[in-house]
Amino acid sequence: MKLLVTLTPAEGKRLIAKGLLRTEPVRRALRDGYLCVTLGTTSAYLVEEILGEYDKTRHIAGIVIPRGVWVTEAEHRAFDAIFHRGKYIDGKKVIDVLDELGPGDVIIKSANALDVNGLPIVLLASETGGTVGTFLGAVAARNIQLIMPIGLEKCISSSYDEFCGRIGMNEWDYALGVPVGAIAIHKGIPYTEIDALETLFDVGAVPIAAGGVNGAEGCVTLLVEGEADNIKRAYEFLRDEIKGEPLFPEVRHIPESI
């Protein structure tokens, strides 16, 4: 059977969060080890799903706003959300528990783009690589699972190879926004709305359109296919629990200049 659905970016983030929480790696990490949710808009929804109430606007460092790529005020940011055996550890960052992480533990890091080859990309506004720079080597060395939630609206038509080596924070002649570099995270596992639908309902999905107006800017329209019972459950879930998700709350702690 077939299902047609259009998801706003906020609806997609909520769907991704609900799907992530049902994946075996995340469930196991919450039960037996560490789940580390770093700052990012999409990952903020996962924290909210776990805690029930959470100020998502503080779970952001880098941000893209109409004026361009920007950063939030550091003093108003939350720490990474660290969970150890299901217990929320407030006031800690990934780097604070990094020495304790290993196989079976999970780091969640939102991505800024998904290239044409499905490679997650993170923009870097820090000369030392920001949060991802603190843990990427350990992730590779110790086989820590790195899952990168990303909405399909962040798919780009170019490959990372096309601009790799051509940009760095200090190489822009002009920048409408904060100058950044970019890194592809080959070790990261992207997790999109398509993956969430597969996790939750054992159905497949294919994007067939993107964009819209009247609040549908950034939307993705999906063809969802699967067994009759699964499609019915997916339809009812999307209708009752996902559609109508409010826009991401306005982020106010943004400096006028950097």
C-beta separation of 61 from 79 below 8 A: no
d(CA 176, CA 232): 46
- The reply to whether 224 falls in a domain is no
Q: How far is the C-alpha of 97 from the C-alpha of 136, rounded, in Å? A: 14
Chain center to CA of 204: 20
pLDDT at 186: 96
Contact 147, 28 (CB under 8 A): no
pLDDT tens by residue, the chain, 258 residues: 999 999 999 999 999 999 999 999 999 999 999 999 999 999 999 999 999 999 999 999 999 999 999 999 999 999 999 999 999 999 999 999 999 999 999 999 999 999 999 999 999 999 888 999 999 999 999 999 999 999 999 999 999 999 999 999 999 999 999 999 999 999 999 999 999 999 999 999 999 999 999 999 999 999 999 999 999 999 999 999 999 999 999 999 999 987
CATH code of the domain covering residue 160: 3.40.50
Whether residue 115 lies inside any domain: the answer is yes
Residues 71, 258: contact at Cβ < 8 Å?
Answer: yes
Residue 194: the pLDDT is 98
215 within some domain: no
Q: How far apart are CA 13 and CA 196, in angstroms?
A: 10
**One-letter amino acid identity for 35?**
L
Residue 41 is assigned to a structural domain of this protein: yes
Q: What is the pLDDT of residue 2?
A: 98
Pairwise CA distance, residues 66 & 82, whole Å: 31
In order of 14, 163, 201, 222, 233, the CA distances from 244 in angstroms are 11, 37, 20, 17, 18
Domain range for 62: 16-192
DSSP annotation of 53 reads -
pTM equals: 0.97
Q: What is the pLDDT of residue 258?
A: 73
Supply the pLDDT for residue 120: 98
Indicate whether 139 belongs to any domain: yes
Say if 101 falls within a structural domain.
yes
Query: For the chain, what is the domain count?
Result: 1
| 153: in domain | yes
Tell me whether residue 178 is in a domain: yes
pLDDT for position 94: 97
Token pair 């003093």 in the structure block, residue = 75
> What pLDDT does residue 257 have?
82
